[in-house]
Structure 1
């Protein structure tokens, strides 16, 4: 029998019981944090040897470039060739930059806003409005960029295969719809991976705006929690074959592979898109940190070296995800008050609680010393119309702390649900 099916007396008894557990939880004076998908200290230690790379006297790339000097806007071939193999994209279609792919995304969209991109008839700032498709739940930092520029963000729901393509196809009939956010592999926060069918449909669909762009943020392309790595669909090739060669801005980075604040970001796209980006990137700076790029190339060795490192990450993360899922099932499963995703990779679990209670759950947890990402954070403007989604980030705490935190979160979910059903 679910919580909602209880009669008034049984619900009152249950509420009293879970309220007592919550008071016990508050009395523990916890200070636990599940807010962001940060690598743990153990994960950061995996790449400690990187700090010794490339080493004194080691400053020349395989093709003879001295990384200590200026230049090299596209990044060094040593690291680009490794990611070419990992992603299945030709080396000449990949640029390597500095640590954050978010910076590149921001630059691309800002340049389109100020000057228009290579397919634009006018700068986006000169248009009456710019609309942007936001699959939800989605990545809050994406939404922050389009919010910052004043774009109208239009949501479409996520399915088990990716965004609702019927909704997407309808929206792109509007020429003011200029772009779309995506996290196609182990998405943030759902963990959903786009199917091959959805990838093809996105590449092939007709759009009213010639300068429509899809930000293909493949941040978790190789972030498995199992022994298997996901299929990486070459959307650049799919789009080119469909006659839409400039559709995708493809991103990834080493941010959660080596050091989150000192990695290498990658941008892959059509030659025309890359050339256009270069006209702006070359003004913004003379070139990326090639010393860091060489350090990463030497540390990885090759694509198999990256995969070996990712298996270490999987071994560290998988028990944490299992802990969260086990506690959610054991504490909440029988009560019918929540559903959650069961990802096979990435950094997040998406938790949906009783409609109208997510903000209450987050506040109860905060009052008990457990920090959660704010309710609505996975939606544009932080507005979840159903007030039900909470993003869980299991990566940072050790398993022992995670057990305590998730048991506490489950208590908060039950208490908020009991209060809702008693109204």
Structure 2
């Protein structure tokens, strides 16, 4: 079969008529499918349901250091939870603070504190004329929402196959002291699934920022979210690389169990240098007496250790693999021959990134919505919701069933084909 760009106008018009008939039938079928967010499916949530039975009225609720988890105390988390999260984040427990249920909340809190109280003695950002931020794109929409909320000027950084364009990153941070941070999802990036190469991690750790209060916001959300045994991406540990580069204070690393156990009821953590953590704890002592230690204890008793977490994640992968395979198979068989789309094939994480023809993403997403398939808004993976090329679409396969995904993917392909032909016909 010839690709659409190779077909003449008459053949394209015939193809368009057939596709529009298919689309009209779909619109009449009253379909309701959601691929908009990376939510675990019900089958994944069942994997952790036994954790609800871990603690009862007769349970020993003392942490390993003897602290009663029902009471006040332990600002930075119980020792066994710190050890478990350190294992997930590949760092030492002394580098960890355990927070509440959401790493997004920890990131927001960290940015907010920088605005009100600066970073380790620097001028509070609220007193500066301008604050700028580097944003690898396409990226995580909720990251960009945080910095937009605080009025930060966001700068797009293109993503290469091994991570952000480091030539651009190095140049910008070394020349402009208004640049205070960079968002990073270093492993199975949202939404591309790209993992940073060793070279990118080392170059990131060796940055020479003009701003002393510049920080790498290293959101290691998918550190253990592999899809395939034997095809697991591994990345260098950023804190160790920063230490070796003489920049021990330059990174904040974040992680949580939100897609490991129960979203909204997990535990989150930040990892940073001692000086960073000491500065953070000064505010925390005002903000809280401590986070939910019973939930921390529940998680540790359920998993026992980080090896238990990894074994649990293999069960998640078994649920997710057929879903990713369904979407990728439809794209490969039904969209690839047309030549009007390209997509990522990640080894882990929660998303597939689809690029349609330039100028077509918004229309494809709108047509899908009219046909009963909800996708993440076109432009969401870019600061201010503006994809400069209007071509990227984030696909979230985790929540629907494989059967629903098959139907939704076929609808997505039909909408992509129609939009592409209409563009080619002018």
TM-score of the pair, normalised by structure 1: 0.98
Q: Does 1:365 align with 2:368?
A: yes
What is the deviation of 1:21? 1.2
Per-residue CA deviations over 1:325-384 (Å, capped at 9, x if unaligned) read 000111110111100000010000000000000000011001001001100000001000
Q: 2:285 aligns with which of 278, 282, 288?
A: 282
- Matches of 2:244 and 2:203, distance apart in 1: 12
Q: Does 1:405 align with 2:408?
A: yes
Aligned residues: 422
Q: Does 1:83 align with 2:74?
A: no
Q: Does 1:38 align with 2:16?
A: no
- Matches of 2:306 and 2:246, distance apart in 1: 31
Aligned to 2:157: 156
Whether contact under 8 Å (2:197, 2:235) holds in the other structure is no
What is the deviation of 1:83? 2.3
- Matches of 2:193 and 2:30, distance apart in 1: 32
Whether contact under 8 Å (2:198, 2:235) holds in the other structure is no
Per-residue CA deviations over 1:180-227 (Å, capped at 9, x if unaligned) read 000000010000000111001000121101110011000000000011
Q: Does 1:327 align with 2:330?
A: yes
Aligned to 1:242: 245
Unaligned runs of 5+ in 1: none
RMSD, matched Cα: 0.9
Aligned to 2:388: 385
What is the deviation of 1:87? 2.6
What is the deviation of 1:100? 0.2
Secondary structure (helix, strand or coil) at the match of 1:47 reads helix
Secondary structure (helix, strand or coil) at the match of 1:307 reads helix
Matches within 5 A, 1:10-409: 10-56=11-57, 57-118=59-120, 120=122, 122-172=123-173, 173-228=175-230, 229-409=232-412
Whether contact under 8 Å (1:87, 1:232) holds in the other structure is no
Secondary structure (helix, strand or coil) at the match of 2:101 reads coil
Secondary structure (helix, strand or coil) at the match of 1:69 reads coil
- Matches of 1:210 and 1:240, distance apart in 2: 16
Whether contact under 8 Å (2:196, 2:235) holds in the other structure is no
Per-residue CA deviations over 1:49-103 (Å, capped at 9, x if unaligned) read 1111233232101111100001211101111112223332111001111110111
- Matches of 2:23 and 2:150, distance apart in 1: 42
Whether contact under 8 Å (2:4, 2:338) holds in the other structure is yes
Secondary structure (helix, strand or coil) at the match of 2:342 reads strand
- Matches of 1:324 and 1:256, distance apart in 2: 20
Per-residue CA deviations over 1:357-415 (Å, capped at 9, x if unaligned) read 00000110010010011000000010000000000000000101110000110000001
Whether contact under 8 Å (1:221, 1:230) holds in the other structure is no
- Matches of 1:399 and 1:105, distance apart in 2: 33
Per-residue CA deviations over 1:18-75 (Å, capped at 9, x if unaligned) read 1111112112110000000000000000001111123323210111110000121110
- Matches of 1:141 and 1:179, distance apart in 2: 15
Whether contact under 8 Å (1:191, 1:346) holds in the other structure is yes
- Matches of 1:67 and 1:27, distance apart in 2: 56
- Matches of 2:118 and 2:184, distance apart in 1: 21
What is the deviation of 1:283? 1.2
- Matches of 1:54 and 1:278, distance apart in 2: 29
- Matches of 2:234 and 2:69, distance apart in 1: 33
Whether contact under 8 Å (1:15, 1:415) holds in the other structure is yes
* Segments of 4+ moved more than 3 angstroms: none
Whether contact under 8 Å (2:195, 2:235) holds in the other structure is no
What is the deviation of 1:232? 4.2
Secondary structure (helix, strand or coil) at the match of 1:179 reads strand
Whether contact under 8 Å (2:89, 2:220) holds in the other structure is no
What is the deviation of 1:234? 1.6
- Matches of 1:397 and 1:372, distance apart in 2: 12
